[in-house]
A = this chain, B = another copy of it.
Amino acid sequence: MSESRALQLETALRDAGVRITRQRKLLLSVLADCADHPDATELHRRAEAAGAGVSLATVYRTLTTLQAQGVIEKLEFQGEPARWEPADQHHHDHMIDVETGQVIEFTNDRIERLQAEIAAEMGYEIVHHRLELYVRRKPTA
């Protein structure tokens, strides 16, 4: 399943003129298995753990390439190194639990619409946006 997802991407990338090297294959498979939002160093660690070698420089270059192809997305939370996630079909925002560091994804159409309205009112259109809620679990009274 995540196996086939990675293969699917390889075809699409090749069609887009991106060469499928051993390192890229490896990173695609590591990314396909991500349930979380790892940074470059962590992805490098996982890739190495998966057996084959990749240099950290190549990890960075590959992430940039895959982002340009729309395959992954870059997340830049407060002051941490950049994290990455497979590009999803549906846009979503992020909630970060400040205690645990856990990242929760969510969507809300009303917020999306309001953002577009606000921009439009001021004569702009949205290219992209970033909404992050830094939260704490509510005390269960």
**Which A residues fall within an 8 A CB radius of B?**
76, 78-79, 82, 95, 97-98, 104, 106, 108, 110-111, 114-115, 118-120, 122-138
Taking CB atoms, residues of chain B closer than 8 Å to A110 are: 114
Q: Which residues of B contact A123 (CB under 8 A)?
A: 137-138
B124 near A114 (CB under 8 angstroms)? Answer: no
Copies in the complex: 2
Q: Are A127 and B136 in contact (CB under 8 A)?
A: yes
Contact A114–B122 (Cβ < 8 Å)? no
Complex partner residue of A134 from B76, B122, B127, B134, CB under 8 angstroms:
B127
Whether B124 contacts A129 by the Cβ 8 Å rule is no
Known contacts A111-B111, A133-B129; decide if A124 and B97 are in contact (CB<8 Å): yes
